[in-house]
Each structure stands twice: as structure tokens, then as C-alpha cells.
């Protein structure tokens, strides 16, 4: 697809059905936005967890990405509006994301979904949440998640590496901003090494879903994404890691201005489509 076609496709993505719903999970409401493609048979499901440092972001800030995935992949997208600080701190976001995923796995057929075909995705803090949900689902023998799409994810809140030092300031997401987000999200006394905060510090990486991990070359989170991809591969998990040199954290949110963002979105759609068709992620 040439650049002009990529730009037009991103702008013109149209979804036939979009509904804001509230799932009642374990007596607690979790708002979601359901994007449903125009297909007669049950649609596979992408659970999407938005970024924003666990504090900012909402269903509207990442609406375009969800619409494009729904249209291009021909899958349903369930975007989760998890509870956030200051009213709700860790582990509430994790609990809401897992509860919504579990609800879709158990009750999604009533919405015209195929709950046996679930993938998860997220960017930044949402990417970390997606990785955590995969680990919890494996450990609790919960929803059968087949694929994880992690966009420049937060995976190790205690990371000390080259990219954390090299891009600590002046490249969009800064070390100071990340520390502020963590201060808002994590209550005093909770260790940042907790695997629900730092999934890269989990003790086991076996039996996790196949993954596409996208990193940005000028992002302080770059090296933990690289390391996570290596650890998954070492554990026998099928992984495709794609890095976009010269890009900053969150670059996929700006496809109108950045050709590499459009290419990354296309890669995401190809990987998800291939997974739902049973062919695996593209090389």
C-alpha cells in the first residue's frame, strides 16, 4: 500500500456499529465501548486498554485506532474505560481490565461476538495492562487469550537501562512524567516490582499468547520492550518485534502526520488479521 493509500485508509475507516455499554462484573460496573463490524457471523474480539500513564486517556483519545482495527481486521473491539486515579488507584485498573475480558469471554456471545477468539492490545501503560492480563489469565486458567499486541508498553517500572537514560527528557514521554504517573497510580508501600505493575519481572513467561511488540527508537521505554520480546522468545512464545527508528513514544496516535505511524497501524492490522485467520503474525 503506498503512502497516499495509507493516509486515505486511516482517514476513511468506517465502523458500522459503535455502542457505549456498562458491563456489570462481580457487582462493579466497567464502562466499555464496543466497535462491531458489519458481518453476519460472530466476530473475533480485540480487548483494547488505552494508554495515558494509568491516569489520563479515555475511550475518546484512542477512538480512531479502535475504529481502524475494527474496520481493517474485521473484528470487534472492546475498549475498556478502566477506573483511574485519584479516586481509584492500583490495582483497580488491572481488576477492571481483567473483569471486562472475563465478562466478554463468558457472555460475549450475547453481543454477537466469538468469545473463544480473543486478543488484547494497548499502548504505553495500556500495553503493560495487556501484558498483565495475559499473565493473570494464564495463571488463573481464565479467558483463552490468543494474541497480545503491545505498543511501546510500560513493562518494568524499575527499569534501569540505556533508553531510560538516553531519552529521559526532551523526547515526549519523560522520566519525570513517568515518575509522576506512578506516584498518582501506585499507593504508598506497594512495590514497583509487583508483576501487575512490572510484568517483565514475572517469574514465568511460558504459555503466554503470541505477541507483536512495537517499540519506538526515541522512547525511554524502548529497551524494556526489546528485553520483553527476548524473554518471551526464550520461553518459546512466538514473538514479532518491530522497532521504528526515529519515532517517539505514542507515535502511532499521529498517522495523519507520520508515514511510519501509518505503516505501524497497517502492521498491527495485518498481525491481528493473520492471528484471527490462524496464520500467525507476519514476519
Rounded-to-integer distance, Cα 108 and Cα 150, Å: 23
| Residue 240 host element (H or E) | strand 239-244
CA distances from 101 to 47, 105, 125, 136, 254 (A): 7, 6, 17, 11, 28
Q: Inform me whether the pLDDT recorded for 5 exceeds 60.
A: no
pLDDT the model gives residue 11: 47
pLDDT the model gives residue 15: 60
CA distances from 240 to 72, 142, 261, 280 (A): 20, 24, 17, 10
Q: Which pLDDT band, with edges at 50, 70 and 90, does 26 fall under? A: confident
Place of cell 489520563: 56
Q: Which pLDDT band, with edges at 50, 70 and 90, does 145 fall under? A: very high
Cβ neighbours of residue 272 under 8 Å, at least 6 residues apart?
A: 46, 69, 73, 75, 119, 121, 147, 149
pLDDT the model gives residue 3: 43
Q: Which pLDDT band, with edges at 50, 70 and 90, does 4 fall under? A: very low
Q: In this structure, what C-alpha cell is assigned to residue 112?
A: 454477537
Stretch 26-36: mean pLDDT: 92
Q: In this structure, what C-alpha cell is assigned to residue 60?
A: 475518546
pLDDT the model gives residue 185: 98
The 10s digit of each residue's pLDDT in 119-136 is 999 999 999 999 999 999
Q: Inform me whether the pLDDT recorded for 8 exceeds 70.
A: no
pLDDT the model gives residue 25: 85
The 10s digit of each residue's pLDDT in 182-228 is 999 999 999 999 999 999 999 999 999 999 999 999 999 999 999 99
pLDDT the model gives residue 13: 54
The 10s digit of each residue's pLDDT in 48-97 is 999 999 999 999 999 999 999 999 999 999 999 999 999 999 999 999 99
The model's pTM: 0.93
CA angle 211, 264, 96 (to 5 degrees): 50
The 10s digit of each residue's pLDDT in 150-188 is 999 999 999 999 999 999 999 999 999 999 999 999 999
Residue 17: strand pairing partners: 36
Taking a C-beta distance cutoff of 8 angstroms, is the pair 255, 188 a contact? no
Rounded-to-integer distance, Cα 128 and Cα 131, Å: 5
CA distances from 137 to 92, 102, 158, 207, 226 (A): 16, 9, 24, 11, 23
Percent of the chain's residues with pLDDT above 90: 89
Stretch 257-261: mean pLDDT: 95
Q: Based on the number of CB atoms within 10 Å of its own CB, is 161 exposed (0-12), middle (13-18) or buried (19 or more)?
A: middle
Q: Which domains occur in the chain, in start order?
A: 3-276 (3.40.50.1820)
Closest CA to 69 of 60, 79, 61: 79
Q: What mean pLDDT is reported for the chain? A: 93
pLDDT the model gives residue 265: 98
Amino acid at each position: 500500500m503506498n503512502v497516499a493509500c495509507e493516509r486515505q485508509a486511516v482517514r476513511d475507516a468506517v465502523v458500522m456499529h459503535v455502542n457505549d455499554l456498562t458491563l456489570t462484573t462481580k457487582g462493579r460496573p466497567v464502562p466499555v465501548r464496543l466497535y462491531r463490524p458489519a458481518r453476519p457471523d460472530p466476530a473475533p474480539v480485540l480487548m483494547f486498554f488505552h494508554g495515558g500513564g494509568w491516569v489520563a486517556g479515555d475511550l475518546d483519545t484512542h477512538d480512531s485506532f479502535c475504529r481502524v482495527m475494527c474496520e481493517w481486521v474485521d473484528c470487534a473491539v472492546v475498549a475498556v474505560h478502566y477506573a483511574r486515579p485519584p479516586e481509584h488507584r492500583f490495582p483497580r485498573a488491572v481488576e477492571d481490565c481483567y473483569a471486562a475480558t472475563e465478562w466478554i469471554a463468558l457472555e460475549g456471545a450475547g453481543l454477537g461476538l466469538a468469545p473463544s477468539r480473543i486478543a488484547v492490545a494497548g499502548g504505553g501503560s495500556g500495553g503493560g495492562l495487556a501484558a498483565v492480563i495475559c499473565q493473570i489469565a494464564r495463571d488463573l486458567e481464565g479467558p483463552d487469550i490468543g494474541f497480545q499486541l503491545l505498543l511501546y508498553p510500560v513493562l518494568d517500572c524499575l527499569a534501569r537501562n540505556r533508553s531510560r537514560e538516553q531519552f529521559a527528557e526532551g523526547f515526549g514521554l519523560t522520566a519525570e512524567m513517568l515518575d509522576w504517573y506512578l506516584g498518582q497510580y501506585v499507593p504508598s508501600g506497594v512495590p514497583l516490582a509487583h508483576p501487575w505493575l512490572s510484568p517483565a519481572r514475572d517469574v514465568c513467561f511460558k504459555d503466554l499468547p503470541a505477541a507483536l511488540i512495537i517499540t519506538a527508537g526515541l522512547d525511554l521505554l524502548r529497551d524494556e520492550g526489546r528485553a520483553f520480546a527476548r524473554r518471551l522468545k526464550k520461553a518459546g512464545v512466538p514473538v514479532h518485534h518491530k522497532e521504528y527508528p526515529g519515532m517517539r513514544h505514542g507515535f502511532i496516535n499521529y498517522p495523519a502526520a507520520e508515514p511510519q505511524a501509518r505503516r505501524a497501524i497497517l502492521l498491527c492490522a495485518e498481525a491481528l488479521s493473520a492471528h484471527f485467520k490462524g496464520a500467525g503474525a507476519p514476519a
